[in-house]
Amino acid sequence: MTHRVFIDGAAGTTGLEIAERLGGRSEFSLITLDEGRRKDAAARAEALNAADFVILCLPDDAAREAVAMIANDSTRVIDASTAHRVAPGWVYGLPEVSGHAVVAEAKRVSNPGCYSTGFIALVAPLIREGLLPADWPYICHAVSGYSGGGKALIERFEADRDIAWRGYALSLGHKHVPEMQARCGLSLAPLFSPAVVPAHRGMFVEVPLPLAAMQGAAAPQRLWDALAAFYAESPVVGMGTAPDDGELLLRASSAGSDRLDLFVFASPDGSQARLVARLDNLGKGASGACVQNLNIMAGLSETAGLRL
């Protein structure tokens, strides 16, 4: 059976990478709109309603509009934008945490934010297991490659080679915070400080833990063991190999990857730890995750077409 797929926003950064991963796969046929019609509402409405699966790679408002244009019960949607990540009726498309069966059955799947993917993958299982407190004010630092900001940020970083680091979300209202809080079941919003570095793609997300001050927190080895057990069956998420030389590098020349690697670093006395997630913002952080969800929803191998 061939599934008809329409990528709305196919000319953008995320959309192009999804098309690349689906290219040549016989299970899918892509519905495409030429350059002159890709923003035409009537043409989009027709494509949205003709597809078995729609993948929205659009700004939030355009994603909401696209969903409203679907006038049938059969088209299933994966939304890469922030529009529906805590919306009722939408399944959160992190199958390792939400459950594969839930994603497989869903009509509406909201793909997680790139930073949120790292944070939730690290924190949610540990809260669930009772190894970290749900009422702690978590802090999250992260760096992203500039493709995380789509076409506009790519253009800016490639035009101004002098930017070595860009801190942002300085008023502490980043759009990923609500999904981080909701999907981990935290009583307090995490304090999130993201930054962009002059690499096209790649991401590190870090959660520092002053364990000695956190009531109910387990020792670092137990945190590592619990994450390793939680992701033991996953072909996409797993524990990274701790570096021998004591450093983690994000290389500007790194190839894309759809993996998510987790680390737990700790002080010798176990009083402090750093949870770290390494991913590609365009891989498990966006396009790779869309394709993984599409595979699961279509009843195919979850890793088909992924770069692991």
Ligand X SMILES: NC(=O)C1=CN([C@@H]2O[C@H](COP(=O)(O)OP(=O)(O)OC[C@H]3O[C@@H](n4cnc5c(N)ncnc54)[C@H](OP(=O)(O)O)[C@@H]3O)[C@@H](O)[C@H]2O)C=CC1
Residue 114 appears among annotated catalytic residues:
yes
Q: Are 301 and 17 in contact (CB under 8 A)?
A: no
Q: Are 267 and 285 in contact (CB under 8 A)?
A: no
Footprint on residues 194-223 left by ligand X2W (CB under 6 A): 194, 196
- Residue 57 CB, nearest approach to ligand X2W (Å): 9
Angstrom distances, CA of residue 124 to CA of 7, 90, 237, 286: 30, 19, 14, 19
Among 75, 82, 110, 293, binds ligand X2W (CB under 6 A): 82
Measured on CA atoms in the order 180, 184, 185, 191, is the torsion positive or negative? negative
- Residue 72 CB, nearest approach to ligand X (Å): 20
Q: What are phi and psi of 21, to 5 degrees?
A: -70, -30
As a whole number of angstroms, the distance between CA 35 and CA 22 comes to: 20
Kindly indicate which of the ranges 57-65, 95-103, 231-239, 255-263 contains the residues binding ligand X, using the contact rule CB under 6 A.
57-65
Nearest of 300, 292, 304 to residue 95 by alpha carbon: 292
Footprint on residues 161-180 left by ligand X2W (CB under 6 A): 175-176
- Residue 276 CB, nearest approach to ligand X2W (Å): 18
With CB under 5 to 8 Å by kind, the binding choice for 239 among ligand X, ligand X2W, none is: none
With CB under 5 to 8 Å by kind, the binding choice for 139 among ligand X2W, ligand X, none is: none
Q: Which of 283/305 has CB closer to ligand X2W?
A: 283
Q: Give the pair of three-digit tokens for residue 31.
A: 């519905």
Binding site residues, ligand X2W, CB under 6 A: 80-82, 113-114, 144, 148-149, 153, 175-176, 194, 196
